[in-house]
Amino acid sequence: LTNNKKGMKKLFTAAIVALSMMFGANNAQAQVQFGIKGGLNVTSMSLDKDKLLDTENQAGFFIGPTVKFTLPIVGLGIDASALYDQREAKLKGDINGNEVETSSKLKTQAINIPINVRYGVGLGSVANVFLFAGPQFGFNVGDKNQSLLKDAAEWKLKSSNFSVNVGLGFTVLSHLQVSANYNIACGKTGDVTVSDAAGATLQELIGKNGGKANAWQVGVAYYF
């Protein structure tokens, strides 16, 4: 876990340095816009590759400040945000022939920092369509320990996570932006510890995946 945190910090630092250098080298020509962004998550949480445990898709939300750099290269830009992000999923499934359901929803609350490279085409400042992709660095700010199967097991969320965004969107009059993307979790989001036989069965079913919270996201941003 310590090595993972160090790797995450190094990756995040490298991304910020690269962004700063690019902006510093082009600040005479680059256009910078600040704004606010918000939207909805529809999470699909995968706990095991054999689908022995199923989860229902659940809606969440994200909101926070954002900044967009339009570079002097035609169509190319970068955007970065600091978003409060909430996701949740309700567990249900079959263990030893018995249908089970947790007493509460699994919930994640994080500060996510997506940094996307974007390429757009369109009618100048009137409207454009763009594609984007990039890394996202997440830091858990919610409850890291959550009970499963009425305290038979406990899911311990990681303090940080890494994911990748891929999506598209459009901008109108250089101010209003609508986008949709798929957020792909890289690595598991937590580990399961057990307190009885039922919890041990749950841990066996989950295995090494530890839960991945992928999500479809639809967002709206307004740049000033």
Q: pTM above 0.75? A: no
Residues 6 or more apart in contact with residue 5 via CB below 8 angstroms? 159, 160
pLDDT of residue 218: 95
Residues 6 or more apart in contact with residue 45 via CB below 8 angstroms? 55, 87, 89, 106, 211, 212, 213, 214
Q: Is the pLDDT of residue 167 over 80?
A: yes
User: How confident is the model over 84-130, as pLDDT tens digits?
Assistant: 998 876 666 555 555 555 545 677 889 999 999 999 998 767 889 99
- What's the pLDDT band for 52 if we cut at 50, 70, 90? very low
- The helix/strand/coil state of 32 is strand
- What's the pLDDT band for 172 if we cut at 50, 70, 90? very high
Q: What is the mean pLDDT of the chain?
A: 75
User: How confident is the model over 30-49, as pLDDT tens digits?
Assistant: 689 999 999 998 876 655 54
- What's the pLDDT band for 209 if we cut at 50, 70, 90? very low
